[in-house]
Amino acid sequence: MAPSRIKAETRQADLIGRLNQAGFMSVSDLADAAGVSEITVRRDLALLERTGAIRRTHGGALGLRRGDASAFDAREPSFEARRQRNGAAKTRIARAAERLIEPGQSVAIDTGTTTFELARLAGRISDLQIVSNSTRVASVLADSPNPVYIVAGRVRGNELSVYGQRAVDSIRDYSFDVFFLGISGITADGLFDYSPEDAEVKRAFMARSSKVVALCDSAKFNRKAMVRVAEPHEVHAVVCDAAPDGALAEALARVGIELIVA
């Protein structure tokens, strides 16, 4: 992907995060925050409104996090673009998730940008058995003293995740104390991901795990993608950087999900 495309995606992701956090921002404030012209911001906002990510108003735009409406993400951004989106929040989430791991456990780590940050920390914990469907995660952990296994299957493009029936079948041979799940969005209706292929592997990990922990920054609240990975009651805990509100908060509380705010 061309550097200019990555830069635009990163800027637009940052706009979404700022609007979700603030609720409303003016075009001039968004331009100042992004370090670009108001014309560029207006062009970005027009694109983001067409994809359902934000709602434009006179002089600015509204984020969707504070309401109960959900937005649909039709296209999966590149791994690097997603990694730069809300990077500080993802680091805090990874640190909070690390504290859930105990020496001696069997741990499954999903593909994703926040789970990747967790993998960078998990190598410091002793006496773990770690399995992942991400070649990036496996590479980060390769030099740790813990044995690291990667599931068999086909590698998916730039995401470098492993998928396919062979991957699903190989996961059935394992049992995990905890699975750290990466998602693209969460609503009162469930947890979502862009890729049907990756979603099948996520479900296989969930079925073999005593505890499922979703890692989710607040920009993903009230956002859907093409595939629903799980219903809320199928997850035991959600680690995030801010508490959700509205229908999403009610749905998580109703099924007894442990909410961990980093």
pTM of the full structure: 0.73
Range of the domain at 29: 3-63
Claim to verify: residue 140 and residue 10 sit in the same structural domain: no
Q: What is the pLDDT of residue 2?
A: 47
Q: How many domains does the chain fold into? A: 2
Say whether both 100 and 139 belong to one domain.
Answer: yes
Domain final residue, candidates 15, 34, 63: 63
Q: Is 70 a domain residue? A: no
Question: Do 48 and 173 lie in a common domain?
Answer: no
Same-domain pairing of 43 and 88: no
User: What is the pLDDT at residue 76?
Assistant: 62
Q: What is the CATH number of the domain that holds 229?
A: 3.40.50.1360
Q: Cα 52 to chain center, whole Å?
A: 18
pLDDT along the chain (262 residues), means of 10: 61 83 81 91 88 78 62 61 74 96 97 94 93 95 93 89 95 96 94 91 98 93 89 97 91 96 92
Co-location of 121 and 251 in the same domain = yes
Query: Residue 186: its pLDDT value, please?
Result: 95
Looking at the structure, tell me whether residues 39 and 89 fall in a common domain. Answer: no
For 235, how many CA atoms within 13 A lie in the half-sphere containing its CB? 32
Question: Alpha carbon 18 to chain centroid distance?
Answer: 17
pLDDT at 78 (0 to 100)? 66
In a domain, 74, yes or no: no
The pLDDT value given to residue 79: 62
**pLDDT score for 77:** 60
Chain CA centroid to CA 115, Å: 8
Looking at residue 13, what is its pLDDT? 83
pLDDT of residue 84: 63
Are 176 and 234 part of one and the same domain? yes
Distance CA 55, CA 67 (A): 11
pLDDT the model gives residue 19: 83
- Amino acid letter, 134: S
- Final residue belonging to a domain, choices 15, 36, 63: 63
Domain boundary among 19, 38, 63: 63
User: Are both 219 and 107 inside the same structural domain?
Assistant: yes
**Do residues 31 and 125 share a domain?**
no
* Model pLDDT for residues 120-132, shown as the tens digit of each residue: 999 889 999 999 9
Side-by-side strand order, sheet with 55-57: 24-26, 60-62, 55-57
pLDDT tens digits for 20-56? 777 778 898 899 988 999 999 999 999 888 777 787 8
Residues forming beta bridges with residue 95, ordered by sequence position: none
**217 and 188 share one domain:** yes
**Do 19 and 143 have their domain in common?**
no
pLDDT given at position 1: 44
85 and 22 in a single domain? The answer is: no
Q: Tell me if 99 is assigned to some domain.
A: yes
Q: Give the domain CATH number at 41.
A: 1.10.10.10
